[in-house]
Structures are given as structure tokens and as C-alpha cells.
Amino acid sequence: MLIGDLGEFGVIERIARLLPAATADVVVGIGDDVAVLDTKGPRYLLATCDIQVENVHFLRQATSPYQLGRKVIAINVSDIAAMGGRPRWALVSLALPPDTAVDFVDKLYRGMTDQAQTAGLVIVGGNLSKIDHPMVIDLCLLGECDKERFLRRNGAQVGDAVLVTGTLGDSRAGLHLLLNPHLQVTDAARETVLAAHLTPQPRLEEGQLLADSGLVHAMLDVSDGALGDLRHICEASGVGATLALADLPISPACREVARASGVPAEDWALTGGEDYQLLFTAARHDVARIQGILAERTGTAAQVIGQILPASAGITAVSPDGMVGSHSGAGGWDHFREGGKP
């Protein structure tokens, strides 16, 4: 058997079975956005890491080193945001070809430093190695959260509304433009979706507000695609779900790029990935209050896109004409299967 046969999440499950049982100080281990660790202090320690590999996660000719630096920090902060935590310290490992320009490293770190300052964290160390090709950037991020106020993906309850912040599909539209730069779209649409893909902004304040509210049952960030990430919530919570395609929040810019490409914008919204919005569930009677908190404190909209159902219902999507389609939740990004990122 090859890892391509198992897929990314199958490999993760296999690794988890190989590891010894977690000790009592591991509050949350493998299977969530972030590890939650009890160091016996007043708050829990959060730990996450994310690797960026050239030609898998980014194209060097399509992004500036400054943009890449910002994104490396942002995507890790997004994991901390999904727990409702606060990022604190980062360690960066670089594997660089020897012909990499020193100026590239300078600009990469300027981007990382600027995004780190925005998120309130500091880079405290790392490692450096030679590699022939491709370039690899690996970041480990540590943070903290209140012991009574942090969110996981396993708390969704039957009857919950499924909500998402912001809009979906913009990053996938940006990737499509990077791969098809001559596509005819307006400058405004191009700028919007390219920014969403190259320099995403994590919903850090929103995540903290949602955790502090005590109203949210389960949450994660949309990195693998809304459909795939909803599957993670459903599997962890032992529930099913239905999505209303007509309610997916899709920006005019994404719709314009999708239309010019001959692709349904809903496909990108469901499976595109790397939107780094927050996908969460809450009781129906709390939805208006949650939307009010986010709008008042951050200006961010949260849209109801579905409902949590019993596990026997599986995962379904209802089209605007009322047609119901059954989904496994697959179709998002999986490192060892075809499709997805460049």
C-alpha cells in the first residue's frame, strides 16, 4: 500500500495509531487544529505547525517573498484562531537551495515579522538547512488559551446551525488567476481574489470572541475546503449535516472569476480551500446574538449555511432548485490525492 492510496487523513490516522497513548497533560492531541497542553499554569499551551513546500503550497514565480512570509505566519495563526486562542511564539525552519538570493530571505522575514506583529506574536528561533530543490518553509507556533474558553471540532450538536465567517472561494479564484493570468476579469476582482490567496488574513479576533461568548459548540478554520472541513466536524462530533448551496457566502469577485472560467462559483466555495474563514456550529436560537457580536466588534459577517443532523443523515448539499446531493465530505484539499493546490 502507498500513502497515495490512504490519502492525507488516512495517513494521519495511521500515525496516530502508532503513537503511545497521550499522557494526562495532553488535553487535545492528534485530530484537531491545535494540540492543547496543560503545563499546570493558569492557561493551556497551544501548539501547531504548518509546512510550505515550493510547487505544492506556493509558486515562487507567482508570489513575492514578502507575501510568502506573511502567509506562512497567517495560516498558522488561523489554527490558533480556530481554538479561540492567542498566538505567542514562533519557530521557523528553512530548507533553502544554495542559489537562493539573500534578498529573498530578507524579504521573507520582513513579511513574517509584519504579520507576526499584527497577530501579537514574536519569532524566537528556528533552523536552517541546505536543500537542492524545492524550497521548504516550516513554522511551529505556540500560543495560549483560557482553560474554560477554547473550542474544538467535536462539539457539534444535532439541530445546530452551521455558520461561516466572511466569504468562501476567493482563494481558489486567486489560485486560478495565478495559473491563468490572461483570464479577462476586472482589475477589482483580480485584486480581491489574488489578495485572498497570497496574503490571507486569519480571523483571530473573531475566534477569540466566539470562544469567549460561550455560545459556539464546535469550530475550525477553512483550510481544506468548506465541505471537507465540515466533514472533520461531523466525524469528530458523530453527526451529519446538510448545506444550502444558495446560502454560501460568495463574493462578487469570486463569482466574476468563476464565470469567466466556466466554473460554478459554488464548487470553489465548497472545495477550494485556503479561505481561512471560521466554520462553526451553534444553537439556532443563539445565531442572531453571535452575528451581532461579530458585526459590532469586528465588522465581520457570519452566514448560516446549513444545519447539523443525526449521523445517519450523512452530509448532503441542497441546490437552489431543491435537488439534494449526497457527499462524503471529500473534495477538499488532500496532500496525497490529485487536485487542489499547484
Q: What average pLDDT does the segment 244-266 reach?
A: 97
Instruction: Give the sign of the dihedral formed by CA 117, CA 177, CA 231, CA 140.
Output: negative
Q: What is the pTM of this model?
A: 0.92
Residue 258 scores a pLDDT above 50: yes
Residue 16 scores a pLDDT above 90: no
Q: Is residue 320, in this structure, part of any structural domain at all?
A: yes
Same domain, 125 and 209: no
Q: What average pLDDT does the segment 234-254 reach?
A: 96
C-alpha cell at 104: 529573498
Same domain, 256 and 309: yes
C-alpha cell at 267: 464548487
Same domain, 273 and 141: no
Residue 240 scores a pLDDT above 80: yes
What does the pLDDT read at residue 336?
46
Same domain, 182 and 287: yes
C-beta of residue 124 within 8 angstroms of C-beta of residue 89: yes
What does the pLDDT read at residue 8?
80
Pairing of strands 315-318, 324-327: antiparallel
Per-residue pLDDT of 295-317, as tens digits, reads 999 999 999 999 999 999 999 98
What does the pLDDT read at residue 326?
66
**How many alpha carbons lie under 13 Å from residue 20 in its C-beta half-sphere?**
3
- Domain end call among 146, 177, 211: 146
Q: What average pLDDT does the segment 169-192 reach?
A: 97
Same domain, 142 and 216: no
Same domain, 191 and 321: yes
Q: Is residue 323, in this structure, part of any structural domain at all?
A: yes
For residue 134, cis peptide bond before it (omega within 30 degrees of 0): yes
What does the pLDDT read at residue 327?
58
Band of residue 21 on the pLDDT scale cut at 50, 70, 90: confident
Largest CA distance in the chain: 58
| Number of domains comprising the chain | 2
What does the pLDDT read at residue 333?
44
Same domain, 100 and 190: no
Q: Is residue 341, in this structure, part of any structural domain at all?
A: no
Q: Is residue 133, in this structure, part of any structural domain at all?
A: yes
C-beta of residue 153 within 8 angstroms of C-beta of residue 255: no
Q: What average pLDDT does the segment 175-180 reach?
A: 96
Strands (E), 72-135: 86-96, 122-130
Pairwise CA distance, residues 197 & 220, whole Å: 19
Pairwise CA distance, residues 294 & 297, whole Å: 5
C-alpha cell at 102: 539573500
**Residues 6+ positions from 222 with CB-CB distance below 8 Å:** 164, 168, 229, 273, 275, 276, 277, 278, 279
C-beta of residue 168 within 8 angstroms of C-beta of residue 222: yes
C-beta of residue 205 within 8 angstroms of C-beta of residue 57: no
Band of residue 325 on the pLDDT scale cut at 50, 70, 90: confident
Q: What average pLDDT does the segment 122-146 reach?
A: 97
Same domain, 120 and 215: no
Give the CATH number, domain containing residue 41. 3.30.1330.10
DSSP run (H or E) holding 164: strand 161-165
Pairwise CA distance, residues 46 & 29, whole Å: 10
Same domain, 88 and 202: no
From 15-24, 44-53, 195-204, 237-246, the region with the lowest mean pLDDT: 15-24
Numbers of helices and strands, H then E, in the chain: 11, 13
Pairwise CA distance, residues 243 & 320, whole Å: 11
What does the pLDDT read at residue 276?
98
Pairing of strands 278-282, 161-165: antiparallel
Give the CATH number, domain containing residue 181. 3.90.650.10
Q: Is residue 335, in this structure, part of any structural domain at all?
A: no
Residue 9 scores a pLDDT above 70: yes
Same domain, 175 and 313: yes
Q: Is residue 339, in this structure, part of any structural domain at all?
A: no
- The boundaries of the domain holding residue 207 are 161-327
What does the pLDDT read at residue 24?
92
C-beta of residue 271 within 8 angstroms of C-beta of residue 327: no
Pairwise CA distance, residues 27 & 24, whole Å: 7
Same domain, 25 and 133: yes
Pairing of strands 136-146, 86-96: antiparallel
Same domain, 211 and 248: yes
Per-residue pLDDT of 139-160, as tens digits, reads 999 999 999 999 999 999 999 9
C-beta of residue 197 within 8 angstroms of C-beta of residue 178: yes
**Which of 238, 229, 236 has the alpha carbon at shortest distance from 31?**
236
